[in-house]
Structure 1
Amino acid sequence: MGFSSQMQTEQQLQVLRSDAIQERRSANYKPTIWKYDFLQSLRSQYDGEEYKLRAEKLTEHVKAMFVEAQEELAKLELIDIITKLGLGDLFAHETQRALQAVLSSNKKIKNGEEDLYITALRFKLLRMHGYDVSQDVFKGAFSITKCTEIKGLLELYEASYLAFEGENMLDEAKTFSREALMNIYSTLDTNTAEEVAHALELSTHWRVQWFDIKWRIAVYENNNNLDKSLLELAKLNFNSVQATLQKDLREISRWWRNLGIMEHLNFTRDRLAESFFCAVGLVYEPRYSCFRKCLTKITTMILIIDDVYDVYGSLQELEQFTQAVDRWDSSKIQQLPECMKICFQALHDITNEIAYDIQEVNGWNVQAVVHLRKAWTGFCKALFVEAKWYNEGYTPSLEEYLSNALVSSGGIVISVHSMLSLGTDEMIDLLGKNEDLVYNISIITRLCNDLGTSTVEKERGDAPSSILCYMREMNVSEKEAEEHIKKMISKTWMKINRQCLRTQPPDLLLPSSFVKVTVNVGRMVHLYQFGDGFGVQDRQTRNHILCVLIDPFHLGCL
């Protein structure tokens, strides 16, 4: 049921009188550019039977390629290409079997005597799939005299992003390969130069893989040595997945319109398409439609509640709102402006709605809704701390800021919903035992967000960001603070890399599906390096949405 029917004329007058007394801040967010009728018009022809049959035939052909790939390098290159083309999910079994064969080959390679390209490619792929391989394979493997081949340098650079804390050799490899690639960049052909620029802009390991598919296909189309059936299957698969995503987007946009909440909230961001896009970044596979829509609902509410605390509410109002969420009690919000009542009611209803969906998919456990409420309570309390800092003109130390940001980033809200949606209520016990992964992803979420939005927020007079906290604490320039934050992000990724290993103790081993979604949160927020895609829509995020959700590959006759 929408909120429109709940609003009476007298209540609207009360809101106007309240806002006249309480001067409200404004972030001047623009209306959404993704209109309801346009989203409802999205249809794809590429989920037809003829395309499915062609994809099945090509899939069998690629499986045969795994059998034919006898040499180790052939296996590794096939896995690498399949992963980059977004086909890894289709060939998960074949990939794992091939990697196991690589591991069990027990080749004795003397340090520095193997080609750098295969050494780096093997290391990268094994670490990507959770295998604990030593950095020692690179002893003596890279130097100015040995690294003259562009493929080896590029793979060394990509491999260095899979480093663990304390792996100094991989730190050296990253610095060395980056400088070497930059030095030879001007001598490269157009296609290779584009690959190098893409990697230097943001490493593959830090990118949302599904958002990179079209770019990868364009690159591989210029490779005459590549089996073209791989590209055809990649295009068919992309279009097939996009058809499912468009169906999900139509459904979630109907839900959003029926909710009707944005008709009464003029201070917040109406960003349904962007929220859905983020959900796709976390989990794109067609079988996760229900979970994807759940993530979209969560993200829309994170934005709205964040704007209530950052932009709209007075400190006294926010205290009452926080108490209401803490006790899940609507009687605590009766003195608040109507739009804050609407926000609370929406949060209440959506949380119950999601808990019901979890019941339908995974079987009911009454504790599910309790965990969801607890996560939202923690989120609101953390936002209230930041609101107090703003009102008091207080700038915390970076450590104090990040301690609170662990929760205010929204990472825990997403993680709890993910754990429950991907499994059962009992899986929350695992999260309680192994919180390091969620902690580190939450830190990256906050730091990347700050790098992308701190300038605008500082001009608007918002609460201090990590950059400002460090500037004031250490008495350094903004540029120095930004460099420090970037180094923190890199170090945090090193911790995450180790936490994704298959060799975690059994009592701390998180489900692989949960790990994948959680790590993708960290990758998703790196899009902030191109600007704030939620606050401002006419930048890179718009182009990403067009690429991933709207425009298919146009295929010839099959």
Structure 2
Amino acid sequence: MSTLIAKHQLPVIRRSANYQPCIWTNDFVQSLTTDYTGERFNGRVNELKENVIEMLNDVAKPNLDQLELIDNLQRLGLGYHFEHEIKSILMKIYEDDQSSETLERNDLHAAALKFRLLRQHGYDISQDVFKYFMENGSFKGCLCNCFKGVLSLYEAYYFSSEGESIMEDAWSFTSKILKENLDDIIDPNLGINVRHALELPLNWRMPRLEARWYIDFYGRINNMNPALLELAKLDYNTVQGLYQEELKIASRWWKELRLSTKVSFARDKLVESFIWMVGIIPEPQFAYCRIEVAKAIQMTSVIDDIYDIYGTLHELELFTDAIERWDIHSIQLLPDYMRIFFLALYNFVNGIVYHIFREQNIDVLPHLKKVYTDLVKCYLVEARWYHSGYTPTLEEYLDNGKLSIAQPSVVIQSYICSANPIEKEKLECLLAMPYILQLTGTLCRIVDDYGTSSDEIARGDVPKSIQCHMFHNGTSEEAARAEMRDLMRKKWREINACRARDMPVSRSSVEIMLNASRSAHYIYYDSDGYAGKDGKGIDMILSLIVQPVPL
């Protein structure tokens, strides 16, 4: 009887995203080499670092010179070498300037740069410092020709919080001035910097890629410091060599899994997944974290494609139950492609659990099970929306989407793989989704949709944030996109407000959240760089992994 029924079962109709084959083969990755290793380069780097420390410790240096030095170090990707010195300088500037207003009264660039750097490092500096540049409730018209100061104020705005009306006025004022006068800026380097900022503000940029861009830019300006430039180039190239070795490890793992033949419908994006981790936690000491969480992102991409494209609703319900049970015996009801993938995921997660237990005597299996269970439950919600033809409200969509974007799961796994020691209270706080993690997850969801939603809708996916807004508000796509841009700025202001308060999570975890958001902005702001259909994703990988900076 069962044979007779099987003969008459209808074939399963499955969707296809028609993903392009991966161009970054394992053979290519294993062929990557660098010349920037050995004592010769390490010795020169240490010598240059000593020179920079002397510059930072020069107490006779005016505040503005110190601020510009710190800004250059950070933008060149060198800030992590000098965290102690930078912290000491900013603390002194903050304490000294509580009783002095000279800097703010005389120089918009200096006031805005100080505001931005102090806010970035957690100091509660008031927006009132900009009142000196206003009259009758508006910014003074005479500032319109001070493009350097206007640019600095524009960048400072992106560290403002919700409800800061002066900063909102600053954004309107600076955006208008910079856009309308872009072609009138005489200094060509300043013009380049303005275009760069209008494309994406500094606080929204992926740190390591910004360093690569700024190295070239800094080398062109008249008053650049040759020691800083040389150190930045050597640091970038030596760290790039470390990234290459890490990527080789991850790529061998992916090849040995041979999952790309078993789940051929899914994205093969191991290299792109590693690039995400370079954006999220770029410091060289976090190699294990980059390798393991890059693997996790690739596995999550496969899960996403199972739910979005390939699986039937019944199969997805079975798979969700199997993840929640986390039991090998629960896979017997799964189709073959899900069974092999579940085993691969099971072994991968348990490998991290073993490593952490061996190194720190902490069992993180319950925490990682929750990470993946929460994620697939959100994917299942979206699958049910799709199969029922339901279009959620924007609020409903984002409430689920802040988790389905997988940013919280990446943040939690990054903490597990980078913290030593892992603090149980901080880990459990992350699992409980503190407000700042909800905000950054929502932001990543909006940014992701902004760059990819048209493609996803075309292949038959659940409506994304833009489509939800259009459907329930009767607006055009152009109007919905404008609303999403405003919502991005709003979420950043809320994030900045959270950063200014004491939080139960570590500062390093917050920086991981912010860097995930910054990476999303860079990858998705005008296209889907992750999918790699344009040249941006290729250029990003070449810059970060393949091509060293010419000395």
TM-score normalized by the length of structure 2: 0.93
Q: Which residue does 1:381 correspond to in 2?
A: 377
Q: Which residue of 2 aligns with 1:471?
A: 470
How many pairs align?
Answer: 533
Q: Distance in 2 between matches of 1:314 and 1:433?
A: 30
Are 2:90 and 1:94 equivalent residues in the alignment? no
Alignment of 1:116-131 (within 5 A): 116-131=108-123
CA distance in 1, matches of 2:222, 2:423: 51
Read off the aligned partner of 1:100 and give its amino acid letter: M
The residue number in structure 1 matching 2:343 is 345
Q: Alpha-carbon deviation of 1:336?
A: 2.8
User: 2:167: which partner in 1?
Assistant: 170
Aligned identity (percent) is 38
Aligned to 2:136: none
Contact 1:365–1:425 under 8 Å retained in 2: no
Q: Superposition pairs for residues 47-446 of structure 1, below 5 Å?
A: 47-68=37-58, 70-106=61-97, 107-109=99-101, 113-141=105-133, 142-188=139-185, 189-361=187-359, 363-366=360-363, 368-423=364-419, 424=422, 426=424, 427-431=426-430, 435-446=434-445
Residue 4 of structure 2 is matched in structure 1 by none
Structure 2 CA distance for partners of 1:167 and 1:67, relative to 1, 3 Å: same
* 1:33 matched to 2:23: yes
SS of 1:240's equivalent in the other structure is helix
Partner SS state of residue 462, structure 2: coil
List gaps (5 residues or longer) in structure 2: 1-6, 134-138
Q: Structure 1 pair 111/293, CA: closer, same or farther in 2 (3 Å)?
A: closer
User: Counterparts of 1:20 and 1:28 in 2: how far apart (Å)?
Assistant: 23
Q: CA deviation at 1:419?
A: 2.7
Cα 1:80/1:313, change in 2 over 3 Å: same
Contact persistence 1:531–1:539 (CA under 8 A): no
Q: Following the alignment from structure 1 to structure 2, what is the Cα–Cα distance between the partners of residues 436 and 84?
A: 28
Q: Name the residue aligned to 2:454.
A: 455
How many angstroms apart in 1 are the aligned matches of 2:39 and 2:19? 43
2-structure distance, mates of 1:440, 1:139: 30
Q: Which moved more, 1:152-161 or 1:142-151?
A: 142-151
* Aligned twin of 1:544: 540
Aligned equivalents of 1:19, 1:223: Cα separation in 2: 71
Distance in 2 (CA, whole Å) between partners of 1:463 and 1:441 is 22
Cα distance in structure 1, aligned partners of 2:9 and 2:276: 33
Which runs of 5 or more residues in structure 1 are unaligned? 1-16
Secondary structure of residue in 2 paired with 1:530: coil
Residue 512 (structure 2) aligns with: 517
What residue is the counterpart of 1:6 in the other structure?
A: none
Of 105-114 and 279-288, more deviation after overlay is shown by 105-114
1-side partners of 2:9 and 2:56: how far apart? 66
Distance 2:325 2:8 in 1: 25
Looking at structure 1, the residues matched to 263 and 323 of structure 2 have their Cα atoms a distance apart, in angstroms, of 19
Tell me, yes or no, if the aligned pair for 2:103 and 2:110 is still in contact at 8 Å. no
Counterpart mapping for 1:524-535 below 5 A? 524-526=519-521, 527-535=523-531
Measure how far apart 1:518 and its partner are.
1.4
What is the aligned-residue RMSD (CA, Å)?
1.8
Give the whole-Å Cα distance in 2 for the aligned partners of 1:330 and 1:458. 35
Answering whether residue 40 of structure 2 is matched by residue 44 of structure 1, we say no
Give the 3-state SS of the residue equivalent to 1:536 in structure 2: coil
Q: In the alignment, residue 333 of structure 2 is paired with which amino acid?
A: Q
Q: Is contact 1:411–1:445 with CA below 8 Å preserved after alignment?
A: yes
Q: 1:387 to 1:434 in 2, by over 3 A?
A: closer
Structure 1 residue 459, shift from structure 2 partner: 1.5
Rounded to whole Å, the distance in 1 between the matches of 2:165 and 2:362 is: 47
CA distance in 1, matches of 2:549, 2:382: 45
Q: Does the 8 Å contact 1:128/1:162 carry over to 2?
A: yes
Summarize the Cα distance change of 1:112–1:255 in structure 2 as closer, same or farther, 3 Å threshold: closer
Please state how far the C-alpha of 1:537 moved relative to its aligned partner.
Answer: 4.4
Change (3 A) 1:25 1:434: closer
Give the Cα separation in 2 of the matches to 1:418 and 1:294.
Answer: 9
Equivalent pair of 1:161/1:203 in contact (CA under 8 Å): yes
